[in-house]
Structure 1
Amino acid sequence: MRSSGRSGSASIISTTAGFTHAGSPRPTRPGQLAPGLIEGIAGGVDPEQVSEIAHATAWALLSHVHETDDPQVVSRTLTLVDHEGIDLIAELWSHAEPDSLPGVLWRLYCLRTWMVRQRASLARLWRLGEPVATSASAIAGVDDAPDADGIVRTADSILAGAFTGDFPLALDRAATFIEVVSLGLRVQARRLTAAADGRDGHDGRDERDDHAGRDGHYAGQQRTQAARLLHTAANLGSTAHDLRTGARLYRRGRLE
C-alpha cells in the first residue's frame, strides 16, 4: 500500500545514509549489490523507478529467504548490514514509505544495528521500562533483566523471525521492544527532572550564592538532557507505530 506522500517519520537511525540492492527477482546471494544501480540512483534515476525497485527487491529478498532451507542464506540475510554497511543499504529503502515493505524492512535492519551497537545502554533502559510495561518481556521475547548479550540475541531473534517465521509477529515484537526502551527513557528523564528540581531548592540569597549558582547551572543541564531523552522517546514511539502499522497491513494482505 502506498502512503499519502509521507517520506517517513522519525526513525531509530538517520535515514540520510544510502542503500542499494540487486534487482534480480530471485537473488542467489541475498544482499548482493549492483554498483551500476548505485551509480544510477546517484545520477538521478526517476523517483518512481527507485520506488518500484525498492518494493521489488524487498519482496524478492523476503520471499527468497522464506522459501529456502539453507541456513547460510538466512545468516547472510540477517547480517546484511554487517557485510554491506548501513550507509550503502540505506540508499534505496531508507526513502521508502513507512507503511511499505521496504520501509518496514529498513526499520528492522536499523533496529538490529542499533541494538547491537548500543547493547549495554539498551539493557539498562529495558530494565527501567519493563516494570512499567508489565507483559512486554513475554511479547518481545526478552528476559526480565537482560544483559548486553541478551539484547543482541533478541535483535537477531526478531530479524530472524521476520524472514523465517511469522512476519507480522516479528514486527509486533520489534515495536514492543522499542516501546519499552522509550518508557525507560521517560523514566530516566523524570529522574533527571526530579534531581534538577532538588538542586533548584536554594533561595540563592545567602553566603552560598556561588554554590547555589553552580547548582542552578547543573540543574539546567539536567533539564536539557531530560528534554533530549523525551525527544528521543517520541521518535522511538513513531518508529514503533510504523512497525505496528506494517504488521496490521501485512495481516490484511495490504502491505506493498
Structure 2
Amino acid sequence: MLDPREAEEIPGEIDPALRGEIAHTTAAAIVHRARASEDPAVVERLVSLVEDEGLDVVAGLWADSPADTLPGALWRLYVLREWVRRDPRTVADRYRLGTAAAPVHDVVAGVVAPPGPEDVRSVADAVLSGVFAGDLAVALERAAAFCRVLATGAAFDADHVEGVDADHATHMTRGAASLVGTAEELVRAAELWRAERLD
C-alpha cells in the first residue's frame, strides 16, 4: 500500500480548474489573434486546425468546456465542420431533405440550392472563417441554422428508413435531436458574444 504522500506524487489527470483555464486562454488567444490579423493565411490555418493538429488535440483543449463559453462554442463548430469534411455526401443529402421544411434556417445558413458535397464543405469553412474574420455572433447563428436544417433532414431521413431498419431510424432521430440541441447552444453563445459575456 502506498502512503498518502507517495500517492500524491503519482501523475494523474489535469486539475479540472487548470483544464478550464487552459481552454479559455487558448480559445481567447486564437480568436483574438486571428481577429487582430489581416492575413488570410492565419484564418485559413485556424479553419483547418483539426486537419493539422488532429481532432483529439482540439478535443483535449475544448471538448469538456460548457456550451456557453468561447471554447465550448469553438468545439461545437470544429466538430460540425469535421463531420461535414468527413461525410459531405450524407450532410448534403440531409441538408436537401431539410430545406423544404426549414426554409428560413436555410437562408440564414447560406447554402446554395440544391447543395452538393462541395457546397456544404464551403459553408462549413465559411462559417468557421466568420469566427476569426467576421462577426462571431453571425457565424454562430449561421452554424445554428445549418444544424437546424440538418436536424430536419435527419428526421425526414429517419422516417424513410423506419420501416426497413427501426434501430437505425431511432439512432438518426437521436442525432437530429442532438443537432437541435447544438443549434440552441450556438444561438445562446451568439447572444452571449453580443453581450460581451462569452468567455
TM-score, normalising length: structure 1: 0.71
Structure 2 residue 97 is the aligned partner of structure 1 residue 137: no
The equivalences for 1:34-183 within 5 A come to 43-183=12-152
What is the root-mean-square deviation of aligned Cα atoms in Å? Answer: 1.3
The alignment of Structure 1 onto Structure 2 pairs a total of residues equal to: 189
3-state SS, counterpart of residue 142 of structure 1:
coil
**CA shift for structure 1 position 86:** 0.3
Cα contact 2:73–2:186 (8 A) shared by 1: yes
1:192: which partner in 2? 161
Q: Deviations over 1:83-130 (max 9, x none)?
A: 000011111200111110000001111111111111001111011010
Once the 2 structures are TM-superposed, how far is the Cα of residue 192 of structure 1 from its aligned partner?
A: 2.8
Q: Which protein has the larger Cα radius of gyration, Structure 1 or Structure 2?
A: 1
Residue 5 of structure 2: aligned partner: none
Aligned to 1:248: 191
Q: What is the CA–CA distance in structure 2 between the aligned matches of 1:152 and 1:116, rounded to whole Å? A: 6
- The one-letter amino acid of 1:164's match is A
Equivalent residues of 1:126, 1:180 under 8 A apart = yes
Letter of the aligned partner of 1:53 in structure 2?
Answer: I
**1:16-35 correspondence to structure 2 within 5 Å:** none
Alpha-carbon distance in structure 1 between the residues aligned to 2:155 and 2:149: 10
Distance 1:184 1:44 in 2: 40
| Percentage identity across paired residues of the two chains | 39
Shift of 1:44: 2.4
Deviations 1:196-240 (A, max 9, x none): 2xxxxxxxxxxxxxxxxxxxxxx5xx2222111111111111111
Residue identity opposite 1:117 in structure 2: R
Q: Secondary structure at the match of 1:143?
A: coil
By how many angstroms is 1:251 displaced? 0.9
Q: Which runs of 5+ in 2 are unaligned?
A: 1-10
The alpha carbon displacement at 1:169 in A equals: 0.4
Separation (CA, whole Å) in 1 of partners of 2:107 and 2:174: 27
AA partner of residue 181 (structure 2): S
Decide which moves more: 133-142 or 174-183: 133-142
The structural deviation recorded for 1:156 is 0.6
Letter in 1 for 2:185: D
> 5+ unaligned residues in a row in structure 1: which ranges?
1-41, 197-218
Cα distance in 1 for residues equivalent to 2:180 and 2:37 = 34
Separation in 1 of the partners of 2:167 and 2:58? 34
3-state SS in 1 of match to 2:113: coil
